[in-house]
A and B are shown apart, each in its own frame.
Chain A
């Protein structure tokens, strides 16, 4: 457990990114963790194993594999718990089946994927950002999903809380993408007073059980969700289902549910979109980055400005739904946009897709298991 010191009423700790995830989860009200150990996400499981049994009703279980881990998390969430798991590349691939299940059955859960270099076993202890598109489209079929990222330890805590809030609010799995660097960096963070943090907990039905419809289409597109055993007996299935939860292949009903699933995320896009604009106001050249690379970029921006180049950084905290308006704004403003990422261009293809203004998109890809350095980004900025 990370050490604590109390200063000015806020508690400060010197913690790993992975430990900060646990702090965030506990603040958000998480009482259930199931998973399978995998580097570099293991500290999350270890910390949960020692913390959860101290909570009223808290439970941790190490399952036989990642598929089982996410299965148990879905089960616990159906039983009314705020539940999460954490994994890395190979485990994330195994979990895809259940991400799809949670999407179609609209089960809230948080999945932290600490990205390592891949594909396959790859380099377990080296960072990468190769799971970005897999997080969005990894499971088969069209499905709604929210993908967030964090770039420093304090953000690991904040984004975990946010991930739980989104999951509960929109009844959807939320994936938090970290990388080996962010997860394994130790930094000072302040633990917020839980009273100061907005915690959202899923709506439960308040109507007689006979009238409850588990997948009712209401104004929000998100139906209330009772815990198992509360008197609202309904059917949960991975088959496409109607508003009552029963399997259907009626084209009208199928279209209805698929469109609702997308609408429930789309219509709250501005609630979900999170970006940080760092020195963007007067920027002539913009860097768009996320995760640990955003930290390199921040230093590169500072160094560029010292040399008289007006650079700015758009840090993406929400990766999907893709923060198109914020990106488009920078594309309009800057004729040159640098996109550094530790993959072969998984996010830059999204940026190119929305590049209506024909700005020059300069990609900077690194897949050797090393972080992109500020120097590399700076040279791209200076070359233009």
Chain B
């Protein structure tokens, strides 16, 4: 069902702190959607000194047809893995858009309507805090109805170095299953034009 979903500019922003692997997360997600699901995807990111240490962000525009303007205009989904990023980018979210946060780091959400999972704590449980981004990717795969877990796992294996693939698959599954358990109905809430 999900792979045939017609999309017209579905915009996602992944945000957090530098070092959380936001860009890798965006790249894996973008690649899975572009190459395996067959969508058109543009992925842009902020570069330079601001991308080191401080806030980090990565934008994806996903569409069934050709994408003209490559940047985001109005976000359908904002993923924030830090309080600062959440505060900074919340204003770019559509009124009917969704917010997904890492509850281990985002204590004060600007709205009560949000999805939240403790990605960092979950990654620690998996055994490697650096897999926070992949835990989030697992959760995203559940929340976004047109993303297939098999394709994302495949893309993950292609992009990540061989020796860390196993633990990341574990992290992915942990995020995916927890999201499915806590928010079973979330994928149904989207309204696609």
Q: Which residues of A does B touch, CB under 8 Å?
A: 3, 5, 12-14, 39-40, 124-125, 152, 180-181, 184-188, 292, 295-296, 298-299, 302, 371, 373-375
Contact = CB atoms under 8 A, between A and B. Distances in A.
A186 B68 contact: no
B27 interface: yes
Contacts, number: 75
B42 A185 contact: yes
Contacts of A373: 69, 71, 73
A187 B42 contact: yes
Contacts of A298: 68-69
Contacts of A374: 68-69, 73
Most chain B CB neighbours (cut-off 10 Å) among A13, A39, A299, A375: A299
A70 B30 CA distance: 35
Interface in B13-52: 27, 30-31, 34-36, 40-51
Contacts of A39: 47-48
Contact of B41 (A14, A299, A371, A375): A14
A377 to B, nearest CB: 10
A187 B35 contact: no
18 contacts: A3-B158, A5-B36, A13-B35, A14-B43, A125-B47, A180-B47, A181-B44, A184-B44, A185-B43, A185-B70, A186-B27, A187-B34, A187-B40, A187-B43, A188-B41, A296-B68, A296-B69, A371-B71
Contacts of A188: 34-35, 40-41
B159 interface: yes
Contacts of A186: 27, 30, 41-44
A152 B48 contact: no
B83 interface: no
**Interface of chain B: mostly helix, strand, loop or mixed:** mixed
Contacts of A295: 68-70
B68 A302 contact: yes
**Interface of chain A: mostly helix, strand, loop or mixed:** mixed
A8 to B, nearest CB: 11
Contacts of B70: 152, 181, 185, 187, 292, 295
Most chain B CB neighbours (cut-off 10 Å) among A12, A180, A188, A299: A188
Nearest to A370: B71
B68 A185 contact: no
Contacts of B45: 184
B120 interface: no
B155 interface: yes
Contact of A3 (B31, B43, B71): B31
A32 to B, nearest CB: 27
Contacts of B73: 373-375
A184 B47 contact: yes
A292 B69 CA distance: 8
B122 to A, nearest CB: 27
A168 B42 CA distance: 32
A375 B71 CA distance: 12
A3 B29 CA distance: 13
Nearest to A5: B35
Contact of B35 (A3, A125, A152, A181): A3
A186 B59 CA distance: 10
Interface in B46-104: 46-51, 67-71, 73
A125 B46 contact: yes
